[in-house]
Each structure stands twice: as C-alpha cells, then as structure tokens.
A and B are shown apart, each in its own frame.
Chain A
Amino acid sequence: MTMTTHTKQQRVAGRWGVAGALAATVALAGCQGFFDVVNPGPLSDEELNVPAAVQGVVTGMSADFSVMFDYIVPVSGMASDEISHGGSYTAEGLWVRGIFRAEDVNGQWANMQRARWVAEHGIERMKGVGGYAFDTNILSARAYLWAGLANRTLGEIACDAIIDGGPKQANSVYFTRAEAHYTEAIRIATAVGGTAGTAVANAAYGGRAAAKAALGKWAEAVSDAQRIPINFVYNAVYSTNSSRENNQFVSETWVRREFTVWGTRWANVFKDPRVPWDTVKTSSGAIQKGQDGKTNYFRQRKYPDLGAEIPLVKGTEMLMIRAEERLRAGDINGAYGHMNTARTFYGLPALTPAASLAQAWTDFKAERGATLWLEGRRWFDLRRWGAETGPMNDTFLTGRATCMPISQNEVDANPNLH
C-alpha cells in the first residue's frame, strides 16, 4: 500500500465511488423485482385453483394412490405369507419375518398418508373452485372414491389413525371416513349416471361394503356388496407410459428378483388362475435364485408387466364378503354357495360344503386368500380373524406384527404424538 495525500482528483473519484456504492445499495434494496425469477417445472399452489386444473388434481389422486399401492402389495403380502423375500433389501428382510419397526416404514406410511391427504385436500380445493360444478361432475365422485380407497388402505394396513398431523386415534377412524367418502361418491356418481357414473358408483358401493365389514356392520356390507356384478373390477392404474406409472411390484419381481412365492403357502397351490406363479431356470438348468443369490425364485405371474393394474374392488371380493357374512351367521351352505359362484367364475370346480364350521372357515380363508392374492388385503384379514375367537380365529400372526406402526418420521414430526 502506498500512501499519498489527497488530491482533488482523488477526492472526486472517491466520492463518486462511495456515491456509486450507495446508489447500488439503494437500487438493490428498492428493486426486489430484480430477484423475481420464474422457473418452469413445479406449479404454484394457486395455479391449481381453476376449473381446468380439476382434472389434473383428480388424476393426481389416482397417481398418488397407485404409487403407494404397488409397494403396499408386497409389504402386506410378506406380512401375511402371500409372498416371501429372496432379495437384498434390509427392511424387507425383517418384514417377511413379521418385524415392523417404525424407522423402516417411513416411505410406506408417507405414501399412504399422501394418497389420503391429496384426495381429501383436493376435494376441499375443488369445492372452492369458481366455475366448477362440484355436485354434478364425475370428477368429484372419483375424488371421493380415491379418498375412500386411501382411507381403506390405511385402515387395513396401519395400526393407528393419524389425520393431518393430529393425535393418535383408533384405526377404525379410517374406515368411518372411508364410508363417508364412498357415500358421497355414490351420491354424485349416481346423479351423473351413464357408464362412467355406474363404474364409479359400483366401485364406491364395493368399497363401502368392505369398509362396513371392517366396522362390523355386516348386514349393511352385504346390502352394498350384492349390488356389484361378479365381473366388475375397479383397478389401481399402472402403465409403461412413464416410470412413475410403472407397477413397482412388477419391477421387483420381474426386473429384479426381490420377492418370491417360494416358501409361502401359495407355493403349494397349482393350476389356480387366481394364484399364478412359475419357476425360472438358469442357462445351466438350475432354479434361478432370488436377488440374495440363495433363495429359490418362484415368480408371481399375476402382474406380468410394468403396466399391470392391481384390482381394488372386485365382484368376486363381494362374494367373499357375502360368504363371510353367512359363515358368521353359521350358514355353511349359504357361504359355500357364494364361494362356489366365485369359483365357477374363475373356471374352478365347486367345493363341497364342509361338515364343520371350523373346516368351512378354513376353506373360506383359503378361498378369500386366493381371490384377493397379492391385492394388499390379506394382512388385515389375518389381523381381524386373529382378533376373533371361535372357529374364525386365525393364529398366523401370533408373534408377528399385525399391522404397520406409525412411522418414525410421523412420531418425530407430529407434536400431538410427543
């Protein structure tokens, strides 16, 4: 640094420098718009509050449900002996042994809750969209249907209910909410009518039947169930259109070999169209091993491609509800009647009604299990049967987790749980 005395020129230049700096400060402080940058990609929340966005909002509900459900299927399946684990994932190795830790279920819990929140929050948004005829648009009925199905999934999988960061409640809260949503879906879909209205209404009736059964309202469940044609199916949609739309369960059983039918009770079930699986041989002729390199890989064939859809409500499921209602009433023949109707639908020979209620329950559990195989439902079946006494009691889950705990992230982040 060289020091000299001030000259006039320096003082002028110095003043200009300071003035320039101050001017720049003022300009920066006063022109906040300078930093206003519009980036493409994500949409702001306000942009969804227009009628043209409603279709996307409802599609989003369906999409988020599908993203959630294709991994609930193997999770529930491993917990309930529908499928086993032959891969390298750590948490799955615990789940297949019936061990569910809060820290391992953050992803599944979050996806289930997002599917519920997106649907319920979307319904409230749609009600406030100016120019959108909420009560007469099939999109509103579909939104309620997704809200009902998301609540049903939570009710069947989760141990406890948490709504929007609220306190812990009994998991029956999910079924209660589901029933209300289905009822609204039925109301609007019926008003809309036509093919689309009928399909949504049937799905909502079917969903409500299951929700009512879960709540113990069997007579009402049957009332809804008997409305559904035997060939009716309402699916969670998957597609090869984009990777997010892929059926991830297929990716884990066809692209990878993470899950295997080997070692489950269903590995002893052959030539049943409801329980399709096969074996894969290596080039040397040996049975292909799973991703862990040691477990036999028996490949599920129910969902053979990345766009395979997963049933959510089926006419044959309704027959199982009706059969179970009959068994609970002690009507063995009535129950077998419904079961055999379903078997005939699948091209299977009829079963001879059992002589005892105990055997009838055993047969029924196998029939319901096969009918709903790999549809994410059996864990809850085993859970509710395990809670019963008498011939319907089931012991498979004894010593194993009966449901998914509240995730560690929810426990940590929800002040109502502290």
Chain B
Amino acid sequence: MTVSVRRALHLARVASLFAMASATTTPLFAQGTGTIKGVVKAASTNRPLDEAQIAIVGSLRGARTNAAGEYTIGGVEEGTVQLRVQRLGFAASTRTVTVAANQTLTVDFSLNEAAVSLEAVVVTGTAAQARKKEIGNAMAAISSQELEVAPVQNTQDILGARATGVTVMANSGQPGTGGTIRLRGSNSISQGNNPIIYVDGIRIFSENGPVGLSSRQNSLTLNDVKAADIERIEVVKGAAATTLYGTEASGGVIQIFTKKGATGRPQWSFETSQGYNDLKDIGSPDDPTGYFVKQCRGPNLVDATGAKFVDPTCPASGSWASKGQVQRYSTAVRGGGEALTYALSGNFANEQGVIKPGGYKEGGYRGNFVFSPTKSLLLALSNSYQKNYTRWIPDGNNASGFLLNVGRGPFNNFKGGRGECANITETCVTNAYLLELVPERRGDHFITGLTGTWSPNANITNRLAVGYDYNSNDNSDTYPFGFLNIPRGQIWKQDWNHTKLSLDYTGSLVSTLPLGGLASTFAWGGQMFEDREYYTRVDGLDFAGPGDVTLASAARTSVLGQDRLRVITAGMFLQEMIGWNDRLFVTAGLRVDGNSAFGKNFGLQKYPKISASYVMSDHDWFPKTFVQDFKVRAALGESGKAPGAFDAVRTWDPVAGDDGVPGFTPAQRGNPDLGPERTREVELGFDVGAFDGRLGIEATYFDARTRDALIPVTYSPSEGFTRTQLENVGEIGNKGYEVSINGAFVRNATLEWSGRLNVTRTRSNTYDIGSAPSISTGLSTEIRKGYAVPAYYGTRILNPDKFEAPQLSTTNEFLGLVYPTRLYSLGTSLSYKNLLTLDVLGEYQGGHSLANWIGYQNARRGIFPLCYATETKLRASAAGDAFALNDVTALQRARCAINRAQMSDKYFIEDASFFKLRNVSVTWNLPARWIPGSRSASLMVAGRNLFRKTDYLGSDPEVADARDAGAAIGRRDYYNMPPVRTFLATFRMGF
C-alpha cells in the first residue's frame, strides 16, 4: 500500500467519523454506556437556566444547557460519576450518580443564586482549569445575563461599571469608535496599557489600530465580538494574576467565552433592537446652544461682543443634531449530538450617528463547533468574521472637523459657501460643506482557532490551540473635487492589516502526594506568537473632475509611509499548585520569555509568581450561621511589556531629498541592552459569601510596581538623533483597593430584588524617571517623580475662587490627573414573577481632569458662551466701572481675559469627574403561548446614558482625540463629539 493510499483511507475514516458524529445523536462510544439528561433551573424562581455547564468530574465529558435549561450527556461509561453544574451567579452544585448501561438517567439541578461561588471553574491566568477557591488573585466575571439587560452600544460598554478595577472611557460618541480600557490604571508609560484579549482561548490583536486622519478616532477589535454571542467574560487585572501570560500582559487580560452548542435538537433564537441615538449632553447646560451644535440658527448665535453670525446651511430643524436610527439583528442556532455540538450565529447592525451622514454598519457570523471523537479527546473549532463600515464625520483636532468649525462660530474655516452668503451682512458661515469630506473605515476581522484537548485519564490534560487573528482596516479620507477649502480635492489612504498567529500548549497533571491531605496540580506549557503588521499611508492631490475617486484619480500622489513589521514572542511556563485538604492552596510558577524586540545583549526574561488561597469556611470550626463562604487570598507575581520592533537598534530612515533623490536621516538611536519593563504586583484580598448566597463581598488590595520601566529618554538633540530613545530607567507604581458587594434583598417566587456596588480606588505614583526632571507624555501631560502617571502640569491659578485678579504660579505645577482614581458603580435589578425585570446601572468616575481645549480655543476667539458675561464685566471694568468685577472670580478672569495674550490652555484643565446613568431597562418576558411556535420571547425597553452630571465644561468628560494622543497616554478634548444617549426596544425570541 502506498503512502498516498494509506493517507486517503485515513482521511476517509476521519471524514466518516465526523459525518457520523454530526448526523446522529447516537454516541460514538456506546458500548457499556448510558446517558444522563436533565433540566437546570434557578431554585428561587424555578426558571430554566441556559448556558449552565455540566461536567463529569475528571473527564472531558460534559454539556451545556439550552435555552430551555435542558442538557444531555451521552456515552457515559456505566458506573458512578460525579456531575458538576455551574453557572455564573449561582452556586456550583455537584452530585454523585450511578449510570447503567443502555439506560437514560435523569438528573435535574436546582441551583441557588450565589453572590460568591468558590466552586466555579475559571481558566484565565490559571494555566489549567481551576476552581475559584484555588486561585490567589481576584478575578471578575461578567455573565450573559448581565449583557441581556444592558443596552450596550458595543462590547466595550459591557466592561464599564460591571467589574471593579476596569475603566472604560468612550472617547467619542461617533458610532464605531473604540474606547480606552484600563485595568487597574496605567502600568506603562510608553508601551500602551491596553489589556490583552483572548477569545475562546485564542489571543487576538488588542493594541490600537490606525487612527483615522479626519475622524481622529480608531476602532477597537474587542467590539468585533458581538454581545449576543458572549457567554461570559473573565477579567484578570494585575501582574500577580497575569504572570503566565508573560511579556505584554502587565495591562491585564480579558478573556471572552462565546456561546457553544448544547446537545439536543436545534434551538433557534432571534433578536432585534430598534431605536435611536440622540444628542442630549454637549458642553455645559448653561450653554443652550451646545457649542452651536444644538442650535445653529437663532438669537443665540452671537460672539462675546454680541455680534451676530449666521449659517444659512444650518438644517431646517435649526440644529445640526438629529435622531440617528439604530437597527440591530442577530440570529443563532445551537444544538448537536453527543459527539458534536454547534453554535452558529449571524448579526447585522446599522446605526446612524446624531450628525448626518455619520453612521456605522456591520455584519458577521460566528461558528463554534465542539467535537468529541473519543472520550479522551475534545476538538473545538471557533470561527468568526465581522465586516464593518464606518462613515465618520470629520471631528476633533482637524481644520475640517465638525465640532471645531461649528463650535467656533464665526471663526470657522468654512465661510462664503456657494452663494448662500450673498446679501448677508453678518458673518456668514457655511458649515454644511465640511460634511462633504468623507472619512471612511472599512474593517474586516477574522478569528479562527482550533483547540484540541486530550485527557488520557482523569488526571492528565493536554491542550493545544492554534489561532489566527486577521484585522484589516481600509481607511480613506476624501475631499471631493469642488470641496470648499480644497477645490481640486484630496485623498488620504491608510491600508493597514495586522495578523497574529498563535500556538499555545498547556499540560497539567493532577495527583495526590504521599503526605496527608496534600494534592498537586502541576502545569506546564508554552506559547508562540507571531505578529505581522503592514501599514501603508498614501496621499493624493488634485483630481481632474468630480466623481468617485481612487488614488489613481489624483494628479499628484506621495507615499507618506509604509511599515512592515514582524515581531515574535515565545515563552514557556511551569506551575505547581499544592492543595491541602481542599482548603489551602499554594501556587508557584515561572514564566520564561523571549522577544525579537529585545536588545542583542538581552537574554530571556523570567517572570515568577506565587500565590495562596485559604478557604477558612471549609473548616468545621468556622461559624456558618451568617457567613457560609470565606476565603482569604494573596498573590505576588510579575509580568512585562516588550519594547517596539526597532527600539533596540540604531537605525536610519530612508527619505527623499534634492527633489526625489534617496537619502538617509537618523531614526532610532538604539540600545542593545534594551529589555522589557517588568511589573511586580502584590495582591491581598478576601471573598465572602453570606446569608445563604444573598450577600457576596470581594475585596482586594493591590500594589503594583513597574521596574525597568521603558521610558522615552530625550538625549541631547545636539547629538543628532531627535527622537526619544526607550531606556529601562524608570519605576512607577499603582496601588489601590477594589470592593465589590452583591446583595439579594428580596428573593422569592414573586419578587427578586438585588443590588451591586463596585468601588475602586487607585493611586498612581512615579518613583524614578532617570535623570530627566520630567518626561513629556504629550498634550500638557508629564511624568514627574512623586506624582501620578501621567498628570497635567502648567501655570496654576493660585486664587481661583477669590474675587480678585488671578495670581499665577511662577513655575509649572501639578494641575490634575489624567485618569480616574475613583470608580464607583451602583446597580440594581428588580424582577416580578420573572415576568418583568427592571435593571438600572449608574457609574461615577472621579479624581481626574481633562484638558478642555474647546473652552480654551473658543475663549481665545471670544466665542466661548460661558465667558460672555465675564467678558462684558471685564470690558466694563476696563471702561472704568470700579464695581464690575466684584463678583468675578480669578479663575473666570483668567479664562475669559480680554487680553488674549494672558490666556493659557492650562486654565482649562478641568475636573472631569462625572456620574452617568449608564443604563435603565425594563424587560417583559412574554408568555410563550402568545407567539405560536416560540419557546420563549421577551421585550426590553432600555435607555443608555440617560443622565449626566459633571462640572466639566468641554464636550464631555469621557472624550479624547485619539490622533492627538498617538501612542502616548495623555488625553485632550479637542472638539470631539460626546457620547450619545440611546433608546432601544429589543425583542428576543427562541424557538
């Protein structure tokens, strides 16, 4: 037999195996086996629970419940087995059952709600599967239940306010915009602080993609995983928990688990949301014009002197803002046999912004397959593809930006129009023409991962995952032929794609030790990631005529830049966990990493960790009258961040000179000793479950210190290299505490009322930045020893609230923090007979500031409405009115100075604390009989961002101009559109 024939026969066998598995519910390994089936319900309400995981302890066998709470596990060897069922928000339950050959055993579960479940199995940061009681660090988990009542605009919104230590800032209200996510603050000055993201065990690209040139914003890959597909999210936040992820993990890890199939007949679900976006809050309530966005016609269109201006291109409604329709659709089918389960879903959304023609469209699908060819082997294939199109409006720090031009009133850049201003004597602006600029983003995101899990016996597990993440952005900004300010037109193109190929192996061995009560879980593994990035920027000028254009339509083109980067990171780890009597667990591990961006003189990096967890409530002596679960934990660990691909070597950039002749210019100074920065964190905490699962408290103190921090060091410019060079010279830290309290106030068959409070306090500090007195991180922010990372600095008004002339500091002083130090969220849920559910969630972020450049730039031009009254008084004073300034504070006088030369942007670094009512929803579970053929149906009416309270005077305290910030960590509000209010009606149906 030839090799090819043997291979063909083998393939045929595999194919027939797969076909048999997917076509029938007959077990593949049926001899001497039985079946277990049942229903999982909530104990208090008796409602069926979907997405509950049922596992046969010590094997790969298991199932998930469908929407009716049903599960089936076939092919269970006859004999006694332990069944464990778990679901987020409920206490895990384990039951021992005996299975007889060729028999079907019915085992129903009734799960108790539990604010804290120490038996729940988690996987993120733990190498192998671990129960929550075994891990020494805090872990946040967000369930699909929470997602269903949240009218989120995108997936990033899920994270905000639902877990401690997680900061989500929206950056912009334009549909399709990605936000900023921070887990426990900033642990890196130069290398980004985005958490790394896993989807079903496959790592995806999680850094910032290209920022649109005119939109001034970018997207977030996280948002390509659709909320309707998510089963749960695990978040581990600090280096103590992320050590096994090694280099790049100091920003924390977010792992998303998408919904898998459940054994049984196909179950379909359909969901649609209809509603609209609405501009409610922009700027201060004291400015009814909302920077002339909400009012673009009428008597309020005046400058500080009362001079009128008009915009004949203002929409007929008198406002630039209008309701933007939101439509979302998704459908899914889940089912399968005992050997193969599947979950397929598709989605489509079309969302208009509040400024037309801004909007966002996306569509995609997901297919998850789990295949059990033998009882010791599990193969899981996850695929998803998401395609999106964003039509931005030009925004931010951009001469053609919408808010920049509209907000500046008579000082805009679009005047004269195309004849509209004839016979108009006032200043005439024509802002509609800026909307002819077309900033677009076309994105494609494909994720595929194949995971094989082989467990030759109850104690050994091997897991191998191969993943590929493909991200592509095709951005263009087109000034069409005839554009008011660029009559011959222009096009900017950005073609970017990033791929991440990953190989991830983990093995684990569970065993008892020959000492009383001791057990061991030993884990080992390795990962390899190859990142490739291609990024081309091209500019084209001067079109011959109107029409849709390409780069080839331009008379002149120039390549602005091209990057082709490849970075390899590989590492391996060993971890040993010793358990004592299933109540004390000590874990020690070591991660070893290499990276192609490390300097030549730099070797492999080692990141150690150690943690302990002690479940005191498992002792007999522990009084369980009120507190049933009590665990204390401690963890110490390290993780890191690698430098960029070229940071370690001295390089020269190819450039052109002498009219197109190739030449070289200094690029990177280089440092062969460059290595990663290392974040070491200690974490202490406790978990409490009390009053029979009605109260759960998780409290954590953390103290992270980043040593060898990669800091951009400025060398003497007279030494030729003008760019900064990364050096491992700094030391920064972050400490704080997180408290999460979940309580069920009422829980019976008629009424359920629960509440949750999350409190996070962080304090950042800089311990060392080398020899420089400060490091600029852009946008008026700096890093200074003894201060937070980063903070605003500049001239300070020493007597802001006094009714006198401003007194100014003579040196640049601390003016405020860039990121919040206080995060509070409060939510409550009230359910009546499982028919009607009210869910409310509010969030407060505080302790930070934001540079309000709308206020500054407008005040400089005498077009800041909040300065009009002060300017009038300043003029009266200048004219001799001795009492005009009696009620004008020093801060008002400085901000609104008539002598514009006395103004400073530093006077507009404002407190950005805010409270927002993130969501309010009412869900009505419709009786299934109302819709023939349906299994379940619900109708939800919800609102997002319904209320805002802040003293911040700029656009919104959450916004930032992403292009301004670049790779730095400074933030600035430079005419960026604020987050919008959204109303949605959502109908869900299962059949």
Contact = CB atoms under 8 A, between A and B. Distances in A.
Interface stretch (B9-17, B98-106, B591-599): B591-599
Contacts of A37: 566-568, 596, 645
A39 B82 CA distance: 54
A116 B666 CA distance: 12
Interface stretch (A219-227, A241-249, A325-333, A362-370): A241-249
A249 B717 CA distance: 23
Contacts of A413: 713-717, 772
B371 interface: no
B931 interface: no
A410 B717 contact: yes
Given A43-B654, A63-B656, A93-B901, A58 B717 contact: no
A35 B660 CA distance: 36
B328 interface: no
Nearest to A11: B511
Contacts of B412: 293
Contacts of A17: 460, 507, 509, 522, 524
A111 B722 contact: yes
A282 interface: yes
A240 interface: yes
Interface string A71-112: 000000000000000001010010001000000001001110
Contacts of B722: 110-111, 113-114
Interface string B178-217: 0000000000000000000000000000000000000000
A20 B524 contact: yes
Interface residues of B, number: 102
Contacts of B660: 239, 241-242, 245
Nearest to A154: B718
A189 B130 CA distance: 77
A40 B558 CA distance: 19
Interface string B661-674: 11111111010000
B416 A48 contact: no
Contacts of A118: 665-666, 720
Contact of A163 (B408, B458, B718): B718
B350 to A, nearest CB: 36
B456 A13 contact: yes
B563 interface: yes
Interface stretch (B284-292, B569-577, B934-942): B569-577
Question: Most chain-B Cβ atoms within 10 A of its Cβ — which of A34, A63, A109?
Answer: A63
Contact of B579 (A1, A66, A93, A407): A1
Contact of A41 (B524, B564, B658): B564
Given A6-B512, A36-B596, A284-B416, A121 B456 contact: no
A262 B243 CA distance: 63
A28 B716 contact: no
Given A9-B456, A21-B524, A293-B411, A35 B568 contact: yes
Nearest to B663: A59
A42 B456 contact: no
A42 B657 contact: no
A141 interface: no
A173 to B, nearest CB: 12
B667 A42 contact: yes
B718 A165 contact: yes
B170 to A, nearest CB: 27
Given A93-B901, A110-B717, A63 B411 contact: no
B131 A1 contact: yes
Given A59-B662, A163-B718, A40 B657 contact: no
B773 interface: yes
Interface in A235-290: 237, 239-245, 256, 282-284
A10 B509 contact: yes
B772 A241 contact: no
A44 B650 contact: yes
B512 A45 contact: no
B620 interface: no
Contact of A28 (B456, B560, B572, B901): B572
Contacts of A294: 411, 861
A414 B558 contact: no
Nearest to B129: A1
A60 B524 contact: no
The number of chain A residues touching the other chain, given as a range, is: 35 or more
Interface string B706-722: 00000001111111111
A43 B458 contact: no
Contacts of B456: 9, 13
A134 B351 CA distance: 66
Nearest to A162: B718
Contacts of B650: 44-45
B749 interface: no
Contacts of B659: 237, 239, 241, 245, 307
A32 B507 contact: no
B716 A162 contact: yes
B676 to A, nearest CB: 13
Contacts of A256: 399
Contact of B457 (A7, A24, A32, A307): A7
B108 to A, nearest CB: 23
B663 A10 contact: no
A412 B663 contact: no
A18 interface: yes
A32 B661 contact: no
B662 A45 contact: no
A318 interface: no
Nearest to B519: A3
A42 B669 CA distance: 12
B570 A28 contact: yes
Contacts of B592: 25, 28-29
Interface in B501-533: 507, 509-512, 519, 521-522, 524-526
A377 B336 CA distance: 81
A409 interface: yes
B58 A2 contact: yes
Contacts of A291: 413
Contact of B459 (A4, A282, A407): A4
Given A17-B509, A48-B652, A113 B564 contact: no
B905 interface: yes
Given A4-B511, A63-B656, A256-B399, A284 B422 contact: yes
A256 B645 CA distance: 36
Contacts of B603: 29, 32
27 contacts: A1-B130, A1-B579, A2-B458, A3-B582, A5-B511, A7-B457, A20-B524, A39-B565, A40-B564, A41-B563, A44-B652, A47-B652, A56-B662, A60-B665, A62-B658, A63-B657, A63-B663, A110-B722, A114-B721, A117-B719, A240-B558, A243-B558, A282-B415, A282-B416, A283-B416, A284-B428, A414-B718
Given A14-B460, A162-B718, 14 more contacts: A21-B574, A28-B594, A35-B570, A36-B596, A41-B564, A43-B651, A44-B649, A47-B652, A60-B664, A62-B658, A63-B656, A111-B722, A165-B719, A284-B421
